[in-house]
Amino acid sequence: MKVGDLVDINQTRGAGSYKHNLPRGLGVIVRIEETEPMMYGAVGPIDFGPMIYVLLTTGQTERFVAQSVSVVA
């Protein structure tokens, strides 16, 4: 995955029995930002991975986790 790739976004929202997928459509990657792991008390560090900024077909730029984004061949 790199800047300029055409991607399809299927965003996962919620957790447990409230978990659902929200198809967001197509977009172009405009920026990839590496993130630091976050500390949550006794749980320890949680690594969310890189944040992918995508220019959607609606004209908005939104941020997604890498698991929600797949490159269109």
Does the pLDDT of residue 73 top 80, yes or no? no
pLDDT of res. 41:
83
Q: Which residues of 18-53 are buried (b: 16+ CB within 10 A; e: fewer)?
A: eeeeeebeebebeeeeeeeeeeeeeeeeeeeeeebb
**Domain carrying residue 58:** 6-71
- Confidence (pTM): 0.83
Is residue 47 in some structural domain?
A: yes
pLDDT 10s digits, 29-43: 999 999 999 888 888
Give dist(CA 60, CA 67) in Å, integer: 20
Give dist(CA 29, CA 31) in Å, integer: 6
pLDDT of res. 40:
85
Phi, psi of 5 (to 5 degrees): -70, 140
Structural domains counted in the chain? 1
Is residue 1 in some structural domain?
A: no
